[in-house]
Amino acid sequence: MAKANKISMEHGAGGEQMQSLIGNTILKNLTKTSAGTVGLDALDDGASITLLKGMDGFSAEKTELIMTTDSHVVKPIFFPGGDIGRVSVCGAINDLSVMGARPLALSCGMIIPEGFDIIDLEKIVRSMNVVLEEVGVPIITGDTKTVEGSALDSIMINIAGIGICDSPVRDSGLSPGDKIIVTGYIADHGVALLTKREGFEFNSDLESDVAPVWKMIEPALSVRTKDNKKAVSAMKDPTRGGIADSLNEMAQKSKVGIRIYEEKIPIREAVVTSCEMLGLDPLEIANEGKVVMGVHPDFADEILKIIRQHPYGKNAAIIGEVNTEKPGKVILESALGSTRYVDVPTGDPIPRVC
């Protein structure tokens, strides 16, 4: 029983145990959790702040800001295709993007152990800057703390972000009939980090997909249905817990079923092989430059075409659709027609990757 009262690695894995911790220990004890349409209890990728007329010199009728935060404890901090700097800045930009918000500004909080190499710190900051330049978003405020080397084994970075939108894209926005799009090869990030960390010989040229998705997503957000709603109905970036976690969360919050087709999911042969060898489910493995989205069926082809025009989206595919079969459940259909539930991951198959 004592063990149940202690934090375990599963509590941070983005699955059921984490949801329970957040619900029973955090949400239960907080009474002020909302400043707009989307609050903490929505457990979305970020939350919104509604600015109303009359607020301290604010004279518009109403506008929505989106706020997000993410801490990064990646191991190793430098990996094929990126580093903790790139992944932390992309994390915030991507969380804003999947809420449908244009990133406006980021904050950066770093906790650094004594003895950490300043050259490495500089590499990390430069790597952040590449992404900031690409997307056109600034880091406007920061904080740096140092701790004894015995207290912390490596640098930890928190990035919070602010974005603006007319109305946020919610996890709960799926409707029956919507198509599900994934914007490229899944599981590259987690498998690339594992390969590097464990020093495996195979897949030595596999790289993380870590990238900022805003420029890829932005044009898709202007596609509107006849009643002037966004044709993109729901979005998530499938980081911890992979697309298994993202799709389940969307299905549960939207109270719909999702069916995806195995042979339509973009995945590298090398990733399939590694996952088979290591007993991992690629659906549960973290991505850092991908989006899973629901789109109105009449506009699915148009949006797919838009996404594919961007280099980060060139392997995008429609992988399934939303239905009313089993509300809250995700079903995977194989090429031969057999089906299985895609469960919410209960533990982290590869911890400390994002």
Query: Which 150-209 positions form the footprint of a copy of itself (CB under 8 A)?
Result: 150-154, 156, 158, 160, 162, 164-166
- C-alpha angle with apex 350: 344 to 352, nearest 5 degrees? 110
d(CA 314, CA 148): 45
For residue 11, state whether it binds a copy of itself (rule: CB under 8 A).
yes
Q: Which is nearer to a copy of itself, 153 or 298 (CB)?
A: 153
User: Residue 27: exposed, middle, or buried by beta-carbon count in 10 A (0-12, 13-18, 19+)?
Assistant: middle
For residue 77, state whether it binds a copy of itself (rule: CB under 8 A).
no
Residues near 305 by beta carbon (within 8 Å), at least 6 away in sequence = none
Backbone φ, ψ for residue 64 (5° rounding): -110, 125
d(CA 224, CA 167): 13
For residue 29, state whether it binds a copy of itself (rule: CB under 8 A).
yes
Q: What character string, x for contact with a copy of itself (CB under 8 A) and - otherwise, covers 121-140?
A: xx--xx-xx--xx--xxxxx
According to CB under 8 A, which one of 49, 266, 268, 281 is a site residue for a copy of itself?
49
d(CA 191, CA 8): 23
Smallest separation (angstroms) from a copy of itself to the CB of 326: 29
User: Residue 217: exposed, middle, or buried by beta-carbon count in 10 A (0-12, 13-18, 19+)?
Assistant: buried
Task: List the 47-52 sheet strands across, edge first.
Answer: 47-52, 62-72, 156-165, 102-113, 139-147
Q: Which is nearer to a copy of itself, 171 or 321 (CB)?
A: 171
Smallest separation (angstroms) from a copy of itself to the CB of 17: 10
Binding residues for a copy of itself, total number by CB under 8 A: 99
According to CB under 8 A, which one of 119, 201, 263, 279 is a site residue for a copy of itself?
119
Q: Which is nearer to a copy of itself, 142 or 298 (CB)?
A: 142
According to CB under 8 A, which one of 67, 87, 251, 332 is a site residue for a copy of itself?
67
Cβ pair 126, 78 in contact under 8 A: no
Cβ pair 345, 17 in contact under 8 A: no
Q: Is 122 helix (H, G, I), strand (E, B) or coil?
A: helix
Residues 231-290, interacting with a copy of itself (CB under 8 A): none
According to CB under 8 A, which one of 116, 262, 297, 308 is a site residue for a copy of itself?
116
For residue 298, state whether it binds a copy of itself (rule: CB under 8 A).
no
For residue 8, state whether it binds a copy of itself (rule: CB under 8 A).
yes
Q: Which is nearer to a copy of itself, 20 or 324 (CB)?
A: 20
Task: Find the helix or strand (DSSP H, E) in which 52 lies.
Answer: strand 47-52
Strand 330-333 versus strand 339-341 pairing type: antiparallel
Smallest separation (angstroms) from a copy of itself to the CB of 219: 14
For residue 40, state whether it binds a copy of itself (rule: CB under 8 A).
yes
For residue 71, state whether it binds a copy of itself (rule: CB under 8 A).
yes
According to CB under 8 A, which one of 93, 98, 112, 217 is a site residue for a copy of itself?
112
Segment contacting a copy of itself by CB under 8 A, of 97-105, 273-281, 291-299, 330-338: 97-105
For residue 58, state whether it binds a copy of itself (rule: CB under 8 A).
yes
Smallest separation (angstroms) from a copy of itself to the CB of 13: 8
Residues near 213 by beta carbon (within 8 Å), at least 6 away in sequence = 90, 93, 94, 97, 98, 183, 237, 289, 290, 291, 312
Task: Find the helix or strand (DSSP H, E) in which 111 lies.
Answer: strand 102-113
For residue 308, state whether it binds a copy of itself (rule: CB under 8 A).
no
